[in-house]
Amino acid sequence: MLEVIFSSLGQLFTASHLFYMMVGVLIGLVVGIIPGLGGIAGMSLLLPFLYGMEPSVALGMLMGLVAVIPTGDTFASVLLGIPGSSASQATVVDGFSLAKKGQAARALSSAFLSSLIGGLMGALVLTAFILVARPIVLSFSSSELFMLTLLGLSMVAVLSGKDLFKGLVACGFGLLVGTIGMAPATGEFRLPFEVDYLYDGLPLVVVGLGIFALPEIIDLLVKRGSIAEQSCELGKGWQQGMKDVVRQPGLVARCAGIGSLMGTIPGLAGSVVDWLTYGHAVQSAKDKSQFGKGDIRGVIAPESANNACACGAMVPTLLFGIPGSGTAAVFLGGLLLLGLQPGVSMLETNLDLTYTIIWSLALANILGAALCLGLAKPVASLTRVPFVILAPIITILILFAAYQATRSLGDLFALGAIGVLGVLFKQANWSRPAFLIGFVLAPGAEAYFYQAAQFQGTEAFIRPGVIIIGLMIAATLIIPALRRYLSSRRYGNSAHTSNADLLSLGTIDVILMSGMLAVAFYTWVAFSELSLLGGIMPRLAIAIIVIACIIEICRTVSRPTRWLAQPCRQAAMWVTGFFLLIGSIMLLGFVITAAIFCLIFLLLIARAKPLVAVGITASITLFLIGMANLLTLTYPTGILASL
Amino acid sequence: MTCPNTPSAYPFSFHCKRALLTIACSTLGFVSICASADEVTVPNTIHWTIPFGVGGGTDVWARFFAPWMSENIAGNPTLVIDNVPGGGSINGSNLFAMRAQHDGSQWIGTSASTQYPAMLEDRRVRYDYTDWAPILATPTGGVVYAQPNLGSDADAILKAMSEGRVKFAVQSHTGLELPVLIALDLLGADVQAVSGMRSRGEGRLAFERGEADIDFQTTSAYFSSVEPLVESGRAIPLFSLGVLNDEGEIVRDPAFAELPTFLEVYERLNGDAPEGPAYDAFRKFFASGFTLQKMILVPSDTPTALIEEYREAARRFVDTEAFESAAEAQLGPYTPVVGDVVEQHLQEAMSLSDETRQWLTEWLREQHGARI
């Protein structure tokens, strides 16, 4: 055993192996940094070269890529508020807030150091765990998986704080949007408007970009200035970020542990782990007030988890041939192309290759994080550039990223629609993570509940694993409430009179709530033909929306409420502009629109020097054309071109 | 036109394979390739639409075939794989049907999940297999196996299955498992199909967890993941689906020569061969989902000479030893079928009579609560 471990370590340090791994790492960094491209795009760049390569060298290259993607995508999350991939959505919440405070370098260096440690711990856990993982992975049946999705959903309560019911409405709406598509139990289609695009449901990337990135762009355009509102020395922040991680050894270790274990559970993995660990960071913190406004722990937690998770995801991929994430799915394809079949043989005849994979993961994590740490300081200075200059670039990037989801025009419309929701949520201070958590977990919750009920019947809910996770959920929900109750008794009622604790209401709140109720009513009618099994999940989501809405309305009516001005006229203007942009893409095609939009925006709105404007426009256009060649992309060509 | 950095460009990177191929080509008559190059103009670049995601079964299959095809077509065109996933391959196939050019520069690679919705007349389908001409098809087989707690051997398990309900984890009721479900129904088994698995692999995981009582895997997955279970006594194989020979009869699968086929089991239990709409449905879906599981097709109004050149290219390598040894891991011990033979099988398989479709619709609704 030890012999195999060390012989594969020796193989790692041969020149060809190191070279190909470095190639993998570099490609991984580039596709990680460009929003919307992730593991899948990276893998498809490498796959053509795989067939016929020496397996151990090829695996090193693939692992280099897999390992650094959750590291590289942090740049977009922190600096631009664009969730680079599904694994780094939670990083956006506090990472981007820190960037706005002028602490981008701090957030980045924290994130990379946590990624590094998380990745190494993940590899370490994997070394031992992969040998005994089989029975443990098999002990997670559909009912335990269902309970884990519930645990993820319970994070909504943790993240919503005092606006619990608004959070529940948001989560219910996320659940409802998440049920669009095919019902797993009966194969019926749940399409609110009979649009073909919705057959597969909305893509996660598009929803993530719409709910987080678009509102931030618009907000920054309304406010003017640069991303960093306060200036700060980048160098100091860089060291500060390292120190932050060192000061939180417990948090890093726990989140890396959660990450690598969740990664090993097939079918769940990446989508929940960042929110689970983010929720954990909030729960375990004494002072919760800064979360969402730029608490460094909100960056450390998900970042130490997501690299560990990428390691853990190798367990189901290698042992069962069941990929834990999108990237792992493509990695699996790579294994098959190399002539390797996943399964028990990876522990027997091919154990040396398995350890090559694990060692490559560890080494690639170190290389990737070191490169990113080096880049952090110069790249963080982006946040000091006036935002109007960046806005057209980021807008094009977001459109490009969204279009990668299914490569159809529908992606752009979906982005706009979710973007509107995101803008309203942001302006009214509703929980956007709650919406996203609902959306991400809806399909899993439904499918696993149905499967648990079918496979196990009522026995599903007395299994020990189910009860343990159930207790964890109860603790998540009850302990904070209990603590709040105790502290309010201790300090009497004095806290209640402060202005901040008063309920508030504004125009957008009213619009959102009446809008949600209308949508709930419409879908109830539109889905009335669904069978019992196929319709249970959307109906449950509707029930959550309606009940939480009613309670919130009762609360605001019965208690003293402060009327809050929620201006949205300027935001509405920018949103309209965005839809005009999509319209122009339909008319003129993507590349031409991007070039014209970029040039006009830079000249007229940003008032940049003509030379600068032309330069930026040219580079954006070249980037888009280059990407099209590299990824065999076809952009929308527009109606005019086809005439 | 051809960017040397195109990711899916194949003609380089196959150092050792190339040597083998050159030998194979010369034995097959390299001269004839050069001669045919004068008669037809093969496009420099062929865009091969794969309506599935990167790294999926059909994608890996296409990437495996791409260098072999490229090396054997006159002029060695560059094959670029274009993944257009969505709607379980329906979206990409619709786009191909709508947009593909007829000059031989566009191919599509389809799979059972592209064939089945067309046969079931899914309302999303806007492609028609009669508009496409097949170049090559690869078959696969499959095995149904069960938990040992149902009985000590295959016969005891088959008996137990007709007496009590057994659970079977499927992707969807109209997915690749459809002929298996029909076969089990014909054998009188009372099967509860739990749908929503994202892959056949997830179904196997449910079996290994003990949630599903029976399961089914195609040949390559059976060898890598189920055989170890059988060896350690955690699974008992019941029957294979068999393979279709050139005369259109279902015979034993060369990969599982020792296992009886579904037909043999049926005949042993009932005395004679099955018939009626259920068996008709089984045969059609078996043929299109297994005998022709994955296919390379081009629009049928592509110049005939080009179609012939592509088919000839496939014939040049499918019987070589070099290909067989490389294909063993990817395709199992089956030889790809080329050209006219595919066309005959395809027409027969895809034509589902209204009576059979009617029976299928009712059977799916009554037995499995699924609507088409």
Domains B15-139+292-338 and B142-288+354-368 share a fold: yes
Nearest to A548 by CA among A175, A215, A152: A175
Distance CA B180, CA B171 (A): 12
Q: Which of B194, B214, B220 to mutate to test the interface with A (most CBs of A within 10 A)?
A: B194
Token representation of residue B111: 């799979």
Least CA distance to B81: which residue of chain A?
A: A632
* pLDDT at residue A516 tops 90: yes
| Residue A213 near residue A80 (C-beta atoms within 8 A) | yes
Q: Which residue has the higher pLDDT, A252 or A226?
A: A252
Contact flag B224-A333 (C-beta cutoff 8 Å) = no
A240 sits in which H/E element: helix A234-247
Chain A touched by B267 (CB under 8 Å): no
Chain A touched by B205 (CB under 8 Å): yes
Helix/strand/coil (H, E, C) string of A287-350?
CCCCCCCCCCHHHHHHHHHHHHHHHHCHHHHHHHCCCCCHHHHHHHHHHHHCCCCCCHHHCCCC
Angle between helices A532-558 and A507-526 (to 10 degrees): 160
Contact flag A322-B85 (C-beta cutoff 8 Å) = no
What is the per-residue DSSP string for A78-99?
A: III----SGGGHHHHHHHHHHH
> 3-class DSSP state for residue B31?
helix
b/e per residue A359-395 (b: at least 16 CB within 10 A): bbbbbbbebbbebbbebbbebbebbeeebbbbbbbbb
Q: Which residue has the higher pLDDT, A336 or A170?
A: A170
Query: How many Å lie between the alpha carbon of A405 and the closest alpha carbon of chain B?
Result: 10
Q: How many percent of chain A have pLDDT more than 90?
A: 35
Least CA distance to B10: which residue of chain A?
A: A48
* pLDDT at residue A482 tops 50: yes
Token representation of residue B151: 């009985």
A619 sits in which H/E element: helix A610-630
* Fold category of B15-139+292-338 in CATH: D-Maltodextrin-Binding Protein; domain 2 (3.40.190)
pLDDT tens for residues A488-498? 777 655 444 45
Name the least confident of A113-127, A471-485, B123-137, B194-208: A471-485
Question: Which of the listed CATH numbers 3.40.190.10, 3.40.47.10, 3.10.20.340, 2.70.70.10 matches domain B142-288+354-368?
Answer: 3.40.190.10
Contact flag B6-A629 (C-beta cutoff 8 Å) = yes
Token representation of residue A162: 């005092």
pLDDT reported for residue A231: 66
The pLDDT confidence band at residue B32, using thresholds 50, 70 and 90, is very low
Name the least confident of A231-235, A321-325, A347-351: A231-235
Contact flag B91-A267 (C-beta cutoff 8 Å) = no
Nearest to A555 by CA among A520, A492, A489, A505: A505
Ranges of each domain in chain B = 15-139+292-338, 142-288+354-368
Average pLDDT value for residue range A592-597: 95
pLDDT tens for residues A42-82? 887 888 788 778 888 999 999 998 888 888 888 988 988 88
Within 8 A by CB and 6+ apart from B38, the residues are none
CA dihedral B49, B51, B52, B54 (to 10 degrees): 20
pLDDT reported for residue B248: 82
C-beta atoms surrounding A3 within 10 Å: 8
Angle between helices A164-178 and A142-160 (to 10 degrees): 140
Query: How many Å lie between the alpha carbon of B273 and the closest alpha carbon of chain A?
Result: 32
Q: Sign of torsion, CA A466 A471 A472 A473? A: positive
Average pLDDT value for residue range A9-33: 88
Q: Which of A47, A48, A339 sits opposite B329 (nearest CB)?
A: A339
Nearest to B206 by CA among A267, A505, A492, A425: A267
| Residue B136 near residue B312 (C-beta atoms within 8 A) | no
Secondary structure letter of residue B185 according to DSSP: H
The pLDDT confidence band at residue B3, using thresholds 50, 70 and 90, is very low
Distance CA A624, CA A401 (A): 11
- The mean pLDDT value of chain B amounts to 87
The pLDDT confidence band at residue B28, using thresholds 50, 70 and 90, is very low
Query: How many Å lie between the alpha carbon of B215 and the closest alpha carbon of chain A?
Result: 14
CA A485-A487-A490 angle, 5° bins: 110
pLDDT tens for residues A431-453? 999 999 999 889 889 999 999 99
b/e per residue A474-493 (b: at least 16 CB within 10 A): eebeeebeeeeeeeeeeeee
Q: Which of B60, B82, B371 sits opposite A186 (nearest CB)?
A: B371
Q: How many percent of chain A have pLDDT more than 70?
A: 96
Distance CA B33, CA B76 (A): 10
The pLDDT confidence band at residue B22, using thresholds 50, 70 and 90, is very low
Average pLDDT value for residue range A602-608: 90
b/e per residue A273-285 (b: at least 16 CB within 10 A): bbbbbbbbbbeeb
* pLDDT at residue B354 tops 60: yes
* pLDDT at residue A156 tops 80: yes
- The mean pLDDT value of chain A amounts to 87
Length of chain B: 372
Average pLDDT value for residue range A304-317: 88
Q: Which of A40, A187, A454 sits opposite B370 (nearest CB)?
A: A187
The pLDDT confidence band at residue A41, using thresholds 50, 70 and 90, is confident
Least CA distance to B223: which residue of chain A?
A: A341
Distance CA A34, CA A111 (A): 17
pLDDT reported for residue B7: 41
Contact flag A333-B59 (C-beta cutoff 8 Å) = yes
Distance CA A146, CA A313 (A): 19
Nearest to A409 by CA among A634, A642, A559, A571: A634
Residues of B in contact with A195 (CB under 8 A): none
> 3-class DSSP state for residue A22?
helix
Secondary structure letter of residue B290 according to DSSP: I
pLDDT reported for residue B293: 94
| Residue A84 near residue A35 (C-beta atoms within 8 A) | yes
* pLDDT at residue B20 tops 60: no
Distance CA A68, CA A365 (A): 6
pLDDT tens for residues B232-248? 999 999 999 999 887 88
The pLDDT confidence band at residue B16, using thresholds 50, 70 and 90, is very low
Chain A touched by B206 (CB under 8 Å): yes
Ranges of each domain in chain A = 2-492+506-564, 589-642
b/e per residue B140-151 (b: at least 16 CB within 10 A): bbbbbbbbeebb
- ipTM, two decimals: 0.85
Chain A touched by B19 (CB under 8 Å): no
